[in-house]
Structure 1
């Protein structure tokens, strides 16, 4: 483990109060834990913007009765086969399915794949969530 370093932060009182309320809602033990998470989140966000290798999920909700939706989604996923690690398919009700696709690759390719899947006719909602491979996070 790295050596811990103490440093001070100056904030407006209202901002500190709001931050302390955030800490309480999230269940952090102290401000240091919350600040570490904020810094990590910022650094992970830079991984996405830098088109570095990243991992994530693409979550889709769609009407499987919609003409060709399954065929189109499968076709798009085959086009990006190198980026897809796994997927989970859940029948939500008689008409709707949830699909969670685990992806890995350059952030630009994952964004392209997500956009392609989300705009497919019959997809009611879609979202890409990217995170880090963990290599750059300390």
Structure 2
């Protein structure tokens, strides 16, 4: 077994202690191992190249150095994948940010994980929606028939 050292703030330590009481964990190490296992099992389960939409949500501490500028810059760098973004102020320093992205599972999951690891980002969640592109040959608005693609949401990957 490997030994690691982590630093967490007092509020998070109190939540960890409460989690230990709720679950019956006998040590912080046991509780953290349990949460790491759960986090790893909740990773995106689709094939890395599968097409999808991803909904990335998190809270952002706007007072953390340059974070308020880095998050939008990260979306701009992925302008071809970013469909929509919303930032809602919650208090004087914190906002909830929601980004809808389109692309491959691996790309969207990598973006979300990198964002969630940023200092000042909390409560990160990624929801993936599997899609498939169907080619269709039909008429819209009484025009000439032409082939184009439509997205269809799938029930799973």
Higher relative contact order (CA 8 A, sep 6+): 1
Q: Distance in 2 between matches of 1:135 and 1:66?
A: 37
The count of corresponding residues between Structure 1 and Structure 2 is 93
Q: CA RMSD in A?
A: 2.0
Q: Distance in 2 between matches of 1:125 and 1:105?
A: 23
Q: Residue 109 of structure 2: SS of its match in structure 1?
A: helix
Q: Residue 104 of structure 1: SS of its match in structure 2?
A: strand
Q: Distance in 1 between matches of 2:110 and 2:77?
A: 11
| Cα shift at 1:113 | 0.9
- Unpaired segments of 5 or more residues in structure 1? 1-44
| Cα shift at 1:135 | 4.4
| Cα shift at 1:101 | 0.2
Q: Deviations over 1:54-77 (max 9, x none)?
A: 012000101111111111112221
- Unpaired segments of 5 or more residues in structure 2? 1-43, 132-151
* 1:81 equivalenced with 2:79 (yes/no): yes
Q: Conserved in 2, the CA contact under 8 Å of 1:52 and 1:107? A: yes
Q: Distance in 2 between matches of 1:124 and 1:137?
A: 29
- TM score, norm. by length of structure 2: 0.53
* 1:57 equivalenced with 2:55 (yes/no): yes
- In structure 2, the residue matched to 1:107 is 105
Alignment of 1:1-138 (within 5 A): 48-49=46-47, 51-133=49-131, 134-137=152-155
| Cα shift at 1:125 | 2.3
- TM score, norm. by length of structure 1: 0.60
Q: Residue 103 of structure 2: SS of its match in structure 1?
A: strand
Q: Distance in 2 between matches of 1:129 and 1:54?
A: 10
Higher strand share: 2
